[in-house]
Amino acid sequence: MAELCFNSFNRSAFILGDEDSDLPGQIAAAAAAGFRLFGPDLYSLRQYRERGGRLEELAEALAAHGMRCFEMPALDISSDLAATLEAAEEMAAMAAVLRPDYVQCNVSSEPGEDTLEAFRRAADRLREEGAGLALEYLPWLPVSNIRTTLELLERGGAEGAGAIVDSWHFFNSDDDWSDLEALPLERLAYVQFDDHPQWVGDDIVHETLQRRVLPGEGVFELERFCRVLRGKGFDGAVSCEILSEEMRSMDLGEFARRVYRSSVRFWS
């Protein structure tokens, strides 16, 4: 059975701005719902520290609730080497305390030699803190599907780096089932999981940040998605990333319970 991770991005400071993302409350709610893995995002971690919190306190809270940090979204990899390495250093310092298995990254520049160098050096720095670099493709960025993800991983040659397949991005990119079936298991770092209703507009970023729904409540062929991944032997971590304006103000405990219950049936 795959192990489920609670992803904090629905209440990220990236989305909420000055509103408190309440990482301690999210940890407690996720643990009570049944999650044993947690994924605190960079923007909320920054906010937590700016408001006087210590990352050591979050690490202690995770341990007290029988949880551990699995992922940390998200590092921007670009052709700007200095900016990439500055951000990687910030996340490496966080990883030294929280000890995630992976730091999630996205690639916002065309994957030329400068971008590949930034990718390799960021991966090297994070590996010093015991964290692998997990590359999430986004349909609107240069690394936009499984094929371009695998190409970058091959050309980048970074030890310990792997791919993330997010069900939202899989179903909204130009990937098809053959791409998922051909993805080598050893290249797959982990999965992010969510669903989506029929689109109401043409703004892809708005759709992905505001209108996701619980697994099983949308139009994605999630049973087939899971079947293909299990068929290749995948039994790793599944990060539940339900980004929903409608559910963002929901009681944290109720939200975490709904996310867990709707997700676990696909992976048990």
Domains by residue range for the chain, with CATH: 3-267 (3.20.20.150)
Nearest C-alpha neighbor of 156 from the set 112, 105, 125: 112
Confidence label for 52 from pLDDT (cuts 50, 70 and 90): very high
Kindly write down the DSSP assignment for every residue of 113-158, as one continuous string. Answer: HHHHHHHHHHHHHHHTTT-EEEEE--TTSSS-SHHHHHHHHHHH--
Map tokens 């030699």 to a residue: 113
Q: Rounded to an integer, what distance in angstroms lies between the CA atom of residue 145 and that of residue 166?
A: 10
Per-residue confidence (pLDDT) for residue 34, from 0 to 100: 98
Averaged over 130-144, what is the pLDDT? 98
Q: Mind listing the pLDDT tens digit for each residue in 19-32?
A: 999 999 999 999 99
Averaged over 233-257, what is the pLDDT? 98
**What pTM was computed for the model?**
0.97
Residue 137 has pLDDT above 90, yes or no: yes
Q: Mind listing the pLDDT tens digit for each residue in 177-199?
A: 999 999 999 999 999 999 999 99
Confidence label for 1 from pLDDT (cuts 50, 70 and 90): confident
Map tokens 């697994």 to a residue: 215
Per-residue confidence (pLDDT) for residue 178, from 0 to 100: 98
Averaged over 109-137, what is the pLDDT? 98
Mean pLDDT, the chain, integer: 98
Per-residue confidence (pLDDT) for residue 235, from 0 to 100: 96
Q: Mind listing the pLDDT tens digit for each residue in 55-88?
A: 999 999 999 999 999 999 999 999 999 999 999 9
